[in-house]
Amino acid sequence: MPIKFIMPGQMENEWFKDWFNTPYYHDLYFKRNETEANTFIRNLVSHLQLKNGARVLDLACGKGRHAVELYNQGLKVIGIDYSNYFITEAKQYENDNLHFYVQDMRQPYWINYFDVVVNLFTSFGYFKTQREHITSLNNIKNSLKAGGIFVIDYLNVIKTEKQLIKEMSITINNVDYLIKKEVTDTHFLKHIHIKDGDENFNYSESVSKFGLDDFKLMFSKVGLEIVALFGNYKLEKFDDELSDRLIIIAQKK
């Protein structure tokens, strides 16, 4: 019998509600490149010249790998994520200056509180409507102190589309993943079939094709001004044809 994938538009619930609450999501994406992630945080903290005790929000923090490294750099960190599963895992790292909460970025949270908000590893662009994305950005802006900084680490849509691998297989911890990708005018779609022993699972992802111009427009609507661009975790210059990432640093007006 052929595998039947459920398209994001056909799902009764938003795709991330189920996918983020499985251990497979973390195994597939986050058990690699831990050194790269920590190096990125150290480079970022150095570039922003953050002082000890600065308040940082890790928005869509997952299990807390970036939040822990931010804390290790002497910062006061709060991590929030939609996934109960992720936050339960992250809470093992909590202390007086590192806390984790379940929170939907579309809902208001702290006001005029943070020096910096970070949103890393393409943890944006998941929602069905532009209004939801704008609402999320407005919540981010409102949570920042005057002159506060927002950092978003997103995929570079131009390079990603050109180098798209339409199908691949990978085995992690004796679990087999079959990944199929496609591109529409507005989204990158990914379909993941998982075989874990005798059990089979299907999940889908949908990420908006937001490029630099899209972010400029959305930021202008909420009062964020872009002050720097980088193309990788070494914080090298962004090139829309060559860069692996689109890393934007914006400031609250």
* Residues pairing with 99 in the sheet: 78
Phi, psi of 163 (to 5 degrees): -105, 20
- In the 8-state DSSP scheme, what is residue 44? H
Q: What pLDDT is stored for residue 32 in this prediction?
A: 58
Q: Where are the domains of the chain?
A: 26-156+211-252
How many other CB atoms are there within 10 angstroms of residue 93's CB atom? 17
Residue whose C-alpha is closest to residue 59's, from 113, 128, 129, 15: 113
Side by side, the strands of the sheet bearing 167-172 are: 167-172, 175-183, 187-196, 199-208
Q: Domain 26-156+211-252 maps to which CATH number in 3.40.190.80, 3.40.50.150, 3.30.420.10, 3.60.150.10? A: 3.40.50.150
Q: What is the identity of the amino acid at 72? A: N
> 159 CB contacts (<8 Å, ≥6 apart)?
240, 241, 242, 243, 244
Q: What is the pLDDT of residue 9?
A: 40
CA nearest neighbour of 143 among 245, 239, 24, 55: 55
> In the prediction, which pLDDT does 27 show?
87
**CB within 8 Å of 26: residues ≥ 6 apart:** 62, 63, 86, 89
Q: Under 8 Å CB-to-CB from 235, ≥6 apart: which residues?
A: 43, 44, 47, 247
Q: What is the DSSP letter of 47?
A: H
The pTM of the full predicted model, rounded to 2 decimals, is: 0.90
**The pLDDT value given to residue 113:** 98
Separation CA 250–CA 116 (nearest Å)? 10
Report the alpha-carbon distance of residue 62 to residue 147 in Å, rounded: 27
d(CA 219, CA 134) in angstroms, rounded, equals 8
Question: What is the amino acid identity at position 14?
Answer: E
pLDDT value at residue 172: 93
With beta carbons less than 8 A apart as the criterion, state whether 97 and 76 touch: yes
> pLDDT digit of tens for each residue in the chain (253 aa)?
233 333 334 334 799 988 988 889 888 886 656 788 899 999 999 999 999 999 999 999 999 999 999 999 999 999 999 999 999 999 999 999 999 999 999 999 999 999 999 999 999 999 999 999 999 999 999 999 999 999 999 999 999 999 999 999 999 999 999 999 999 999 999 999 999 999 999 999 999 999 999 999 999 999 999 999 999 999 999 999 999 999 999 999 9
